[in-house]
Amino acid sequence: MVRYMRHSSRSEATENSVTRISSALVMLTLVMSASTVRAQEKFENSPDARVLGDFKARVEKYEQLRKKADDSAPPLKETKDAAKIKDAQQGLAERIGAARAGVKPGEIFTPEIAGVFRRLLRPEAKQQQTKEAMKEDKPVVVSFKVNGPYPDKQPVATVPPNVLAALPQLPKDIEYRFIEKHLILRDSRANLIVDYVLNAIP
Amino acid sequence: MSRAIVALALFVTGVAIPAAQDAALPNKADSLKFAIIGDSGTGASAQYKVAEQLIASRAKFQYEFVLMMGDNLYSGSGEKDYKKKFELPYKTLLDSRVKFYATLGNHDNANEKFYKPFNMNGERFYTFKPKPGVRIFSLDSNYMDKSQVDWLHKELAASGSDWKIVFFHHPLYSSGGTHGSDTKLREQLEPLFLKYGVDAVFSGHEHFYERIKPQKGIYYFVSGGAGKLREGDVGKSNMTAKAFDTGYHFMLVEVGKDVMNFQVITDQGKVADSGALPRFSDADKKKMSTLTQ
Protein backbone atom coordinates (compact mmCIF):
# COMPACT_ATOMS: atom_id res chain seq x y z
CA MET A 1 0.00 0.00 0.00
CA VAL A 2 2.69 2.45 1.01
CA ARG A 3 4.70 1.71 -2.09
CA TYR A 4 1.75 2.23 -4.40
CA MET A 5 0.80 5.52 -2.83
CA ARG A 6 4.36 6.76 -2.83
CA HIS A 7 4.55 6.51 -6.59
CA SER A 8 1.18 8.09 -7.20
CA SER A 9 0.41 11.77 -6.99
CA ARG A 10 -1.53 13.09 -4.02
CA SER A 11 -4.49 14.07 -6.15
CA GLU A 12 -4.59 10.60 -7.60
CA ALA A 13 -4.59 9.12 -4.13
CA THR A 14 -7.83 10.84 -3.39
CA GLU A 15 -9.38 9.93 -6.71
CA ASN A 16 -8.94 6.21 -6.50
CA SER A 17 -11.33 4.24 -4.44
CA VAL A 18 -10.08 1.95 -1.71
CA THR A 19 -11.70 -0.95 -3.48
CA ARG A 20 -9.86 -0.34 -6.70
CA ILE A 21 -6.50 -0.01 -5.00
CA SER A 22 -7.08 -3.12 -2.93
CA SER A 23 -8.12 -5.32 -5.83
CA ALA A 24 -5.34 -4.05 -8.04
CA LEU A 25 -2.83 -4.65 -5.29
CA VAL A 26 -3.99 -8.17 -4.66
CA MET A 27 -3.73 -9.04 -8.35
CA LEU A 28 -0.43 -7.32 -8.86
CA THR A 29 1.13 -8.64 -5.69
CA LEU A 30 0.43 -12.10 -7.02
CA VAL A 31 2.01 -11.28 -10.39
CA MET A 32 5.01 -9.64 -8.79
CA SER A 33 5.48 -12.38 -6.24
CA ALA A 34 5.56 -14.93 -9.02
CA SER A 35 8.10 -13.01 -11.08
CA THR A 36 10.24 -12.23 -8.05
CA VAL A 37 10.28 -15.89 -7.11
CA ARG A 38 11.24 -16.79 -10.70
CA ALA A 39 14.09 -14.27 -10.65
CA GLN A 40 15.34 -15.58 -7.32
CA GLU A 41 15.10 -19.17 -8.50
CA LYS A 42 17.18 -18.32 -11.56
CA PHE A 43 20.14 -17.54 -9.33
CA GLU A 44 19.40 -19.90 -6.46
CA ASN A 45 19.28 -22.92 -8.75
CA SER A 46 22.35 -21.98 -10.74
CA PRO A 47 25.76 -23.58 -10.18
CA ASP A 48 26.87 -20.15 -8.95
CA ALA A 49 24.32 -20.07 -6.13
CA ARG A 50 26.88 -20.23 -3.34
CA VAL A 51 29.03 -17.44 -4.77
CA LEU A 52 26.05 -15.25 -5.58
CA GLY A 53 24.67 -15.89 -2.10
CA ASP A 54 27.97 -14.58 -0.75
CA PHE A 55 27.61 -11.49 -2.98
CA LYS A 56 24.10 -10.91 -1.70
CA ALA A 57 25.27 -11.16 1.92
CA ARG A 58 28.05 -8.64 1.29
CA VAL A 59 25.64 -6.19 -0.35
CA GLU A 60 23.26 -6.60 2.58
CA LYS A 61 26.10 -5.83 4.96
CA TYR A 62 26.78 -2.64 3.03
CA GLU A 63 23.09 -1.80 3.09
CA GLN A 64 23.04 -2.16 6.89
CA LEU A 65 26.05 0.10 7.14
CA ARG A 66 24.31 2.68 5.00
CA LYS A 67 21.19 2.41 7.09
CA LYS A 68 23.23 3.30 10.18
CA ALA A 69 24.71 6.24 8.29
CA ASP A 70 21.21 7.21 7.24
CA ASP A 71 19.83 6.98 10.76
CA SER A 72 22.43 9.34 12.16
CA ALA A 73 21.03 12.29 10.20
CA PRO A 74 17.54 13.56 9.38
CA PRO A 75 16.15 11.75 6.31
CA LEU A 76 16.28 13.57 3.00
CA LYS A 77 12.78 14.51 1.97
CA GLU A 78 11.58 16.29 -1.12
CA THR A 79 12.67 19.88 -0.96
CA LYS A 80 12.75 22.92 -3.18
CA ASP A 81 16.06 23.90 -1.58
CA ALA A 82 18.64 22.40 -3.96
CA ALA A 83 21.44 23.03 -1.47
CA LYS A 84 19.81 20.64 0.99
CA ILE A 85 19.89 17.86 -1.61
CA LYS A 86 23.58 18.32 -2.25
CA ASP A 87 24.33 18.60 1.47
CA ALA A 88 22.43 15.40 2.21
CA GLN A 89 24.29 13.54 -0.54
CA GLN A 90 27.61 14.85 0.71
CA GLY A 91 26.81 14.11 4.34
CA LEU A 92 25.75 10.56 3.62
CA ALA A 93 28.88 9.97 1.53
CA GLU A 94 31.05 11.26 4.37
CA ARG A 95 29.37 9.09 6.98
CA ILE A 96 29.59 5.99 4.81
CA GLY A 97 33.18 6.87 3.93
CA ALA A 98 34.10 7.15 7.59
CA ALA A 99 32.38 3.88 8.46
CA ARG A 100 34.25 2.14 5.65
CA ALA A 101 37.57 3.84 6.19
CA GLY A 102 40.43 1.79 4.85
CA VAL A 103 38.20 -0.42 2.72
CA LYS A 104 40.00 -2.06 -0.18
CA PRO A 105 38.66 -3.04 -3.62
CA GLY A 106 37.24 -6.53 -3.49
CA GLU A 107 35.35 -6.22 -0.23
CA ILE A 108 32.16 -7.01 -2.11
CA PHE A 109 33.49 -8.25 -5.44
CA THR A 110 35.90 -10.86 -4.08
CA PRO A 111 38.02 -12.54 -6.79
CA GLU A 112 35.59 -15.46 -6.83
CA ILE A 113 32.51 -13.20 -7.15
CA ALA A 114 34.23 -11.04 -9.78
CA GLY A 115 34.94 -14.18 -11.82
CA VAL A 116 31.29 -15.20 -11.78
CA PHE A 117 30.18 -11.68 -12.74
CA ARG A 118 32.57 -11.61 -15.69
CA ARG A 119 31.14 -14.91 -16.86
CA LEU A 120 27.53 -13.76 -16.42
CA LEU A 121 28.20 -10.54 -18.30
CA ARG A 122 30.14 -11.99 -21.23
CA PRO A 123 27.24 -13.33 -23.36
CA GLU A 124 25.25 -10.13 -22.93
CA ALA A 125 28.14 -7.76 -23.54
CA LYS A 126 29.08 -9.58 -26.74
CA GLN A 127 25.77 -8.71 -28.41
CA GLN A 128 26.19 -5.93 -30.91
CA GLN A 129 23.10 -3.97 -29.82
CA THR A 130 24.20 -4.19 -26.20
CA LYS A 131 27.68 -2.99 -27.08
CA GLU A 132 26.24 -0.01 -28.90
CA ALA A 133 23.90 0.88 -26.05
CA MET A 134 26.71 0.67 -23.50
CA LYS A 135 29.14 2.85 -25.37
CA GLU A 136 26.58 5.66 -25.68
CA ASP A 137 27.44 8.75 -23.71
CA LYS A 138 29.87 6.79 -21.64
CA PRO A 139 31.63 8.77 -18.95
CA VAL A 140 35.15 10.03 -19.44
CA VAL A 141 36.72 9.16 -16.14
CA VAL A 142 40.45 9.19 -15.66
CA SER A 143 40.45 7.39 -12.32
CA PHE A 144 38.03 6.13 -9.71
CA LYS A 145 38.35 4.43 -6.37
CA VAL A 146 36.38 2.52 -3.79
CA ASN A 147 34.75 4.87 -1.30
CA GLY A 148 35.35 7.72 -3.75
CA PRO A 149 32.66 9.77 -5.51
CA TYR A 150 31.32 9.06 -8.95
CA PRO A 151 32.35 12.22 -10.86
CA ASP A 152 29.45 14.65 -10.55
CA LYS A 153 29.87 16.26 -13.95
CA GLN A 154 30.06 13.00 -15.88
CA PRO A 155 27.07 11.22 -17.41
CA VAL A 156 26.17 7.75 -16.23
CA ALA A 157 26.38 5.11 -18.93
CA THR A 158 23.05 3.41 -19.52
CA VAL A 159 22.94 -0.22 -18.46
CA PRO A 160 20.82 -2.17 -20.98
CA PRO A 161 17.93 -4.17 -19.51
CA ASN A 162 19.35 -7.52 -20.68
CA VAL A 163 22.58 -6.81 -18.81
CA LEU A 164 20.67 -5.98 -15.64
CA ALA A 165 18.59 -9.12 -16.02
CA ALA A 166 21.76 -11.24 -16.14
CA LEU A 167 22.90 -9.98 -12.74
CA PRO A 168 21.47 -10.37 -9.23
CA GLN A 169 19.02 -7.67 -8.20
CA LEU A 170 20.28 -4.93 -5.94
CA PRO A 171 18.57 -3.03 -3.13
CA LYS A 172 17.10 0.39 -3.80
CA ASP A 173 19.61 3.16 -4.58
CA ILE A 174 22.45 0.71 -5.16
CA GLU A 175 23.14 0.09 -8.83
CA TYR A 176 25.43 -1.42 -11.41
CA ARG A 177 27.16 1.01 -13.73
CA PHE A 178 30.01 0.79 -16.18
CA ILE A 179 33.04 2.99 -16.62
CA GLU A 180 34.66 1.78 -19.81
CA LYS A 181 34.96 -2.00 -19.34
CA HIS A 182 34.80 -1.86 -15.57
CA LEU A 183 31.70 -2.74 -13.59
CA ILE A 184 30.97 -0.30 -10.78
CA LEU A 185 28.74 -0.89 -7.79
CA ARG A 186 27.42 2.57 -7.09
CA ASP A 187 25.43 4.01 -4.24
CA SER A 188 23.34 6.49 -6.19
CA ARG A 189 22.05 8.39 -3.17
CA ALA A 190 25.53 8.99 -1.74
CA ASN A 191 27.01 9.13 -5.26
CA LEU A 192 29.69 6.79 -4.02
CA ILE A 193 31.60 3.96 -5.66
CA VAL A 194 31.08 1.00 -3.34
CA ASP A 195 33.27 -1.50 -5.20
CA TYR A 196 34.20 -2.47 -8.74
CA VAL A 197 35.25 -5.29 -11.06
CA LEU A 198 38.02 -4.35 -13.44
CA ASN A 199 37.63 -5.53 -17.05
CA ALA A 200 34.24 -7.00 -16.30
CA ILE A 201 33.29 -7.04 -19.97
CA PRO A 202 35.40 -7.90 -23.03
CA MET B 1 -12.07 0.60 -42.92
CA SER B 2 -12.39 2.18 -39.53
CA ARG B 3 -12.09 5.88 -38.78
CA ALA B 4 -8.83 5.27 -36.96
CA ILE B 5 -7.27 3.48 -39.93
CA VAL B 6 -8.25 6.34 -42.26
CA ALA B 7 -6.76 8.79 -39.78
CA LEU B 8 -3.61 6.70 -39.64
CA ALA B 9 -3.28 6.80 -43.42
CA LEU B 10 -3.61 10.60 -43.34
CA PHE B 11 -1.12 10.80 -40.53
CA VAL B 12 1.45 8.67 -42.34
CA THR B 13 1.16 10.59 -45.60
CA GLY B 14 1.27 13.92 -43.83
CA VAL B 15 -2.03 15.19 -45.21
CA ALA B 16 -3.35 15.73 -41.70
CA ILE B 17 -0.65 18.24 -40.84
CA PRO B 18 -2.00 21.79 -40.80
CA ALA B 19 0.02 24.65 -42.22
CA ALA B 20 2.85 25.92 -40.11
CA GLN B 21 2.75 29.17 -38.09
CA ASP B 22 -1.04 29.57 -38.31
CA ALA B 23 -1.66 26.16 -36.87
CA ALA B 24 -3.68 26.34 -33.70
CA LEU B 25 -4.53 23.61 -31.28
CA PRO B 26 -8.24 23.28 -30.62
CA ASN B 27 -7.57 24.93 -27.24
CA LYS B 28 -10.77 23.57 -25.80
CA ALA B 29 -11.79 24.41 -22.29
CA ASP B 30 -12.15 20.84 -21.07
CA SER B 31 -9.01 19.32 -22.60
CA LEU B 32 -5.73 18.51 -20.89
CA LYS B 33 -2.98 20.89 -21.97
CA PHE B 34 0.70 20.47 -21.33
CA ALA B 35 4.12 21.30 -22.79
CA ILE B 36 7.24 19.22 -23.34
CA ILE B 37 10.90 20.19 -23.09
CA GLY B 38 13.76 17.76 -23.58
CA ASP B 39 17.49 17.91 -22.87
CA SER B 40 17.02 21.43 -21.67
CA GLY B 41 19.43 21.86 -18.77
CA THR B 42 22.47 23.57 -20.26
CA GLY B 43 22.02 27.01 -18.78
CA ALA B 44 23.13 28.42 -22.13
CA SER B 45 21.43 31.12 -24.17
CA ALA B 46 19.60 28.61 -26.38
CA GLN B 47 17.78 27.18 -23.36
CA TYR B 48 16.73 30.66 -22.31
CA LYS B 49 15.53 31.47 -25.81
CA VAL B 50 13.37 28.34 -25.93
CA ALA B 51 12.12 29.17 -22.43
CA GLU B 52 11.02 32.61 -23.64
CA GLN B 53 8.99 31.02 -26.43
CA LEU B 54 7.58 28.47 -24.01
CA ILE B 55 6.47 31.25 -21.69
CA ALA B 56 5.07 33.30 -24.58
CA SER B 57 3.02 30.39 -25.88
CA ARG B 58 1.18 30.14 -22.57
CA ALA B 59 -0.53 33.45 -23.23
CA LYS B 60 -2.62 31.71 -25.88
CA PHE B 61 -2.41 28.11 -24.74
CA GLN B 62 -2.82 27.75 -20.98
CA TYR B 63 -0.95 24.52 -20.39
CA GLU B 64 -1.10 23.21 -16.86
CA PHE B 65 2.28 21.54 -16.62
CA VAL B 66 5.52 20.79 -18.44
CA LEU B 67 7.02 17.33 -18.95
CA MET B 68 10.83 17.26 -18.89
CA MET B 69 12.38 14.50 -21.01
CA GLY B 70 15.61 14.23 -19.00
CA ASP B 71 19.07 15.78 -19.02
CA ASN B 72 17.47 18.43 -16.88
CA LEU B 73 20.82 19.53 -15.44
CA TYR B 74 23.94 18.99 -17.51
CA SER B 75 27.41 18.94 -15.96
CA GLY B 76 26.63 19.19 -12.31
CA SER B 77 23.82 19.27 -9.79
CA GLY B 78 24.85 21.90 -7.28
CA GLU B 79 22.64 24.72 -6.08
CA LYS B 80 23.93 26.98 -8.86
CA ASP B 81 23.06 24.39 -11.48
CA TYR B 82 19.45 24.16 -10.32
CA LYS B 83 19.22 27.92 -10.41
CA LYS B 84 20.88 28.62 -13.74
CA LYS B 85 19.54 25.61 -15.64
CA PHE B 86 16.01 25.47 -14.25
CA GLU B 87 14.81 28.08 -11.80
CA LEU B 88 15.85 31.16 -13.75
CA PRO B 89 14.84 30.24 -17.30
CA TYR B 90 11.41 28.99 -16.18
CA LYS B 91 10.87 31.51 -13.37
CA THR B 92 7.78 33.06 -14.95
CA LEU B 93 6.15 29.65 -15.23
CA LEU B 94 7.14 28.60 -11.72
CA ASP B 95 5.78 31.87 -10.38
CA SER B 96 2.53 31.14 -12.23
CA ARG B 97 2.41 27.75 -10.49
CA VAL B 98 2.92 25.76 -13.66
CA LYS B 99 4.12 22.36 -12.51
CA PHE B 100 7.08 20.52 -14.00
CA TYR B 101 7.33 16.72 -14.08
CA ALA B 102 10.82 15.42 -14.75
CA THR B 103 12.34 12.15 -15.81
CA LEU B 104 16.01 11.28 -15.41
CA GLY B 105 18.43 11.42 -18.33
CA ASN B 106 21.94 10.04 -18.48
CA HIS B 107 23.34 13.45 -17.51
CA ASP B 108 21.17 13.77 -14.42
CA ASN B 109 22.05 13.08 -10.81
CA ALA B 110 19.56 10.54 -9.44
CA ASN B 111 19.03 12.77 -6.40
CA GLU B 112 17.10 15.20 -8.60
CA LYS B 113 14.16 13.03 -7.61
CA PHE B 114 14.20 14.85 -4.25
CA TYR B 115 13.90 18.26 -5.88
CA LYS B 116 10.31 19.26 -5.20
CA PRO B 117 9.77 21.38 -8.34
CA PHE B 118 10.50 18.26 -10.45
CA ASN B 119 7.50 16.53 -8.83
CA MET B 120 9.05 13.06 -8.84
CA ASN B 121 7.83 12.22 -5.34
CA GLY B 122 11.33 11.09 -4.38
CA GLU B 123 11.20 8.25 -6.90
CA ARG B 124 13.05 7.64 -10.16
CA PHE B 125 9.82 6.37 -11.76
CA TYR B 126 6.29 7.46 -10.96
CA THR B 127 2.84 8.03 -12.34
CA PHE B 128 0.18 10.67 -12.01
CA LYS B 129 -3.30 11.33 -13.27
CA PRO B 130 -3.63 14.97 -14.30
CA LYS B 131 -7.31 14.62 -15.08
CA PRO B 132 -9.89 11.87 -15.43
CA GLY B 133 -9.27 9.84 -18.56
CA VAL B 134 -5.54 10.51 -18.79
CA ARG B 135 -2.69 8.85 -16.94
CA ILE B 136 0.96 9.71 -17.37
CA PHE B 137 3.91 7.46 -16.51
CA SER B 138 7.50 8.62 -16.08
CA LEU B 139 10.22 5.97 -16.37
CA ASP B 140 13.95 5.89 -15.70
CA SER B 141 15.31 4.54 -18.97
CA ASN B 142 18.90 4.72 -17.72
CA TYR B 143 18.29 1.76 -15.49
CA MET B 144 15.40 -0.48 -16.46
CA ASP B 145 15.82 -3.06 -13.74
CA LYS B 146 13.36 -5.63 -12.55
CA SER B 147 11.90 -3.51 -9.80
CA GLN B 148 10.94 -0.84 -12.32
CA VAL B 149 9.52 -3.31 -14.84
CA ASP B 150 7.45 -4.94 -12.10
CA TRP B 151 6.19 -1.54 -11.02
CA LEU B 152 5.27 -0.62 -14.58
CA HIS B 153 3.38 -3.90 -14.99
CA LYS B 154 1.47 -3.15 -11.83
CA GLU B 155 0.65 0.45 -12.63
CA LEU B 156 -0.33 -0.12 -16.26
CA ALA B 157 -2.53 -3.04 -15.27
CA ALA B 158 -4.22 -0.99 -12.58
CA SER B 159 -4.80 1.96 -14.87
CA GLY B 160 -8.21 2.14 -16.38
CA SER B 161 -7.51 5.48 -18.02
CA ASP B 162 -8.51 6.12 -21.59
CA TRP B 163 -5.22 7.75 -22.52
CA LYS B 164 -1.96 6.20 -21.35
CA ILE B 165 1.00 8.44 -22.00
CA VAL B 166 4.55 7.39 -21.13
CA PHE B 167 7.70 9.49 -21.11
CA PHE B 168 11.35 8.69 -20.50
CA HIS B 169 14.74 9.76 -21.79
CA HIS B 170 15.94 7.18 -24.34
CA PRO B 171 13.80 6.81 -27.49
CA LEU B 172 12.65 3.35 -28.52
CA TYR B 173 12.43 4.60 -32.10
CA SER B 174 14.70 7.24 -33.56
CA SER B 175 16.43 8.00 -36.85
CA GLY B 176 19.26 9.83 -35.14
CA GLY B 177 22.74 9.32 -36.46
CA THR B 178 24.37 9.77 -33.07
CA HIS B 179 22.15 7.50 -30.99
CA GLY B 180 19.29 5.94 -32.94
CA SER B 181 16.66 3.57 -31.58
CA ASP B 182 17.33 1.92 -28.24
CA THR B 183 16.40 -1.56 -29.38
CA LYS B 184 17.26 -3.34 -26.12
CA LEU B 185 14.99 -1.02 -24.21
CA ARG B 186 12.34 -1.51 -26.88
CA GLU B 187 12.50 -5.29 -26.41
CA GLN B 188 11.76 -4.74 -22.75
CA LEU B 189 9.09 -2.04 -22.90
CA GLU B 190 7.18 -2.42 -26.13
CA PRO B 191 5.45 -5.70 -25.18
CA LEU B 192 4.19 -4.01 -22.02
CA PHE B 193 3.02 -0.96 -23.92
CA LEU B 194 1.12 -3.16 -26.36
CA LYS B 195 -0.32 -5.40 -23.69
CA TYR B 196 -1.73 -2.54 -21.68
CA GLY B 197 -2.69 -0.21 -24.53
CA VAL B 198 -0.25 2.68 -24.22
CA ASP B 199 -1.23 5.45 -26.65
CA ALA B 200 1.71 7.81 -26.88
CA VAL B 201 5.37 7.83 -25.88
CA PHE B 202 7.60 10.91 -25.57
CA SER B 203 11.38 10.78 -25.24
CA GLY B 204 14.43 13.01 -25.52
CA HIS B 205 18.13 12.12 -25.65
CA GLU B 206 18.39 12.98 -29.35
CA HIS B 207 18.95 16.70 -29.80
CA PHE B 208 16.32 17.22 -32.45
CA TYR B 209 12.63 16.62 -33.06
CA GLU B 210 11.24 13.54 -34.73
CA ARG B 211 7.70 12.27 -35.04
CA ILE B 212 7.69 8.57 -35.75
CA LYS B 213 5.01 6.91 -37.84
CA PRO B 214 2.79 4.97 -35.44
CA GLN B 215 4.47 1.74 -34.44
CA LYS B 216 2.00 -1.05 -33.72
CA GLY B 217 -0.63 1.54 -32.94
CA ILE B 218 1.51 3.68 -30.61
CA TYR B 219 2.57 7.28 -31.33
CA TYR B 220 6.24 8.02 -30.66
CA PHE B 221 7.85 11.45 -30.43
CA VAL B 222 11.49 12.38 -29.91
CA SER B 223 11.88 15.84 -28.44
CA GLY B 224 15.34 16.60 -27.09
CA GLY B 225 16.07 20.06 -28.43
CA ALA B 226 15.07 22.50 -25.72
CA GLY B 227 18.65 23.27 -24.78
CA LYS B 228 20.88 21.28 -27.06
CA LEU B 229 20.88 20.89 -30.83
CA ARG B 230 22.54 18.36 -33.09
CA GLU B 231 22.05 19.83 -36.54
CA GLY B 232 21.77 17.42 -39.43
CA ASP B 233 21.60 14.37 -37.18
CA VAL B 234 18.20 13.09 -38.25
CA GLY B 235 18.79 10.72 -41.10
CA LYS B 236 15.17 10.49 -42.12
CA SER B 237 14.28 6.82 -42.20
CA ASN B 238 11.17 5.01 -43.37
CA MET B 239 9.76 5.36 -39.87
CA THR B 240 10.05 9.17 -39.87
CA ALA B 241 6.77 11.03 -40.21
CA LYS B 242 8.36 14.43 -39.66
CA ALA B 243 11.77 15.56 -38.50
CA PHE B 244 13.31 18.87 -37.54
CA ASP B 245 16.96 19.36 -36.61
CA THR B 246 17.82 22.86 -37.70
CA GLY B 247 16.67 24.69 -34.60
CA TYR B 248 15.81 24.32 -30.92
CA HIS B 249 12.23 23.52 -30.03
CA PHE B 250 9.60 22.53 -27.50
CA MET B 251 6.18 20.90 -27.83
CA LEU B 252 2.63 21.75 -26.88
CA VAL B 253 0.17 18.91 -26.42
CA GLU B 254 -3.59 18.91 -25.97
CA VAL B 255 -5.40 15.73 -25.05
CA GLY B 256 -9.11 15.59 -25.71
CA LYS B 257 -11.49 12.69 -25.35
CA ASP B 258 -10.54 10.94 -28.58
CA VAL B 259 -7.87 13.12 -30.16
CA MET B 260 -4.43 14.31 -29.15
CA ASN B 261 -3.28 17.53 -30.81
CA PHE B 262 0.32 18.63 -30.81
CA GLN B 263 2.39 21.54 -31.99
CA VAL B 264 6.17 21.89 -32.19
CA ILE B 265 7.48 25.41 -31.77
CA THR B 266 11.01 26.56 -32.48
CA ASP B 267 13.15 29.04 -30.59
CA GLN B 268 12.18 31.49 -33.34
CA GLY B 269 8.50 31.03 -32.59
CA LYS B 270 7.80 29.13 -35.80
CA VAL B 271 5.72 25.98 -35.95
CA ALA B 272 7.89 23.07 -37.07
CA ASP B 273 5.20 20.41 -36.93
CA SER B 274 1.63 19.99 -35.77
CA GLY B 275 -1.25 17.62 -36.13
CA ALA B 276 -4.20 15.80 -34.67
CA LEU B 277 -3.88 12.16 -33.71
CA PRO B 278 -6.88 9.96 -33.03
CA ARG B 279 -6.86 7.61 -30.10
CA PHE B 280 -6.81 4.11 -31.50
CA SER B 281 -9.09 1.47 -30.13
CA ASP B 282 -7.53 -1.82 -29.03
CA ALA B 283 -8.97 -3.47 -32.13
CA ASP B 284 -7.42 -0.83 -34.38
CA LYS B 285 -4.07 -1.23 -32.64
CA LYS B 286 -4.15 -4.92 -33.36
CA LYS B 287 -4.81 -4.25 -37.04
CA MET B 288 -2.06 -1.66 -37.18
CA SER B 289 0.50 -3.97 -35.71
CA THR B 290 0.38 -5.72 -39.04
CA LEU B 291 0.16 -2.54 -41.16
CA THR B 292 3.11 -0.74 -39.67
CA GLN B 293 6.61 -1.61 -38.50
Cβ(B178)–Cβ(B257) below 8 Å: no
Q: Which residue of B has its CA nearest to A188?
A: B110
Question: Percentage of chain A surpassing pLDDT 70?
Answer: 78
Same-domain pairing of A164 and A188: yes
By the CB < 8 Å criterion, does A129 face chain B? yes
Cβ–Cβ gap A35/B147 under 8 Å: no
Three-state SS at A59: helix
Longest dimension (CA), chain A: 55
Q: Residue B154: which domain range?
A: 3-291
Q: ipTM strictly over 0.85?
A: yes
The CATH number of the domain where B144 resides is what?
Answer: 3.60.21.10
Same-domain pairing of A173 and A128: yes
- For A21-25, A31-35, A64-68, B204-208, which range has the lowest pLDDT when averaged over its residues? A21-25
Which candidate, B147, B142, B190, places its Cα nearest to that of B166? B190
In the predicted model, what is the mean pLDDT of residues B114-123? Answer: 98
* Alpha carbon distance B185, B152 (integer Å): 14
Q: What count of other Cβ atoms lies within 10 Å of the Cβ of residue A64?
A: 10
Domain count, chain B: 1
pLDDT value of residue A40: 59
**pLDDT tens digit string along A100-137?**
999 999 999 999 999 999 999 999 999 988 988 887 77
In this structure, is residue A61 part of a structural domain?
Answer: yes
- Per DSSP, B98 falls in state -
* Alpha carbon distance A41, A44 (integer Å): 5
Q: Residue A96: which domain range?
A: 49-197
In this structure, is residue A142 part of a structural domain?
Answer: yes
pLDDT value of residue A140: 79
Same-domain pairing of A107 and A25: no
Same-domain pairing of A33 and A94: no
**What's the pLDDT band for A32 if we cut at 50, 70, 90?**
very low
In this structure, is residue A202 part of a structural domain?
Answer: no
Three-state SS at B101: strand
Domain count, chain A: 2
In B168-290 the beta strands, taken as DSSP E runs, fall at 200-203, 209-215, 218-223, 240-244, 249-255, 259-266, 271-278
Q: Which residue of A has its CA nearest to B135?
A: A12
User: Rounded to a whole number, what is the distance in Å from the CA of A156 to chain B's nearest CA?
Assistant: 5
Same-domain pairing of A80 and A148: yes
Q: Which residue of B has its CA nearest to A162?
A: B184
State the pTM of this model: 0.87
All residues of chain B having their beta carbon less than 8 Å from the beta carbon of residue A77 are 114, 122
**What's the pLDDT band for A2 if we cut at 50, 70, 90?**
very low
- For A38-42, B24-28, B274-278, which range has the lowest pLDDT when averaged over its residues? A38-42
By the CB < 8 Å criterion, does B142 face chain A? yes
**pLDDT tens digit string along B127-137?**
999 999 999 99
The CATH number of the domain where A178 resides is what?
Answer: 3.10.450.160
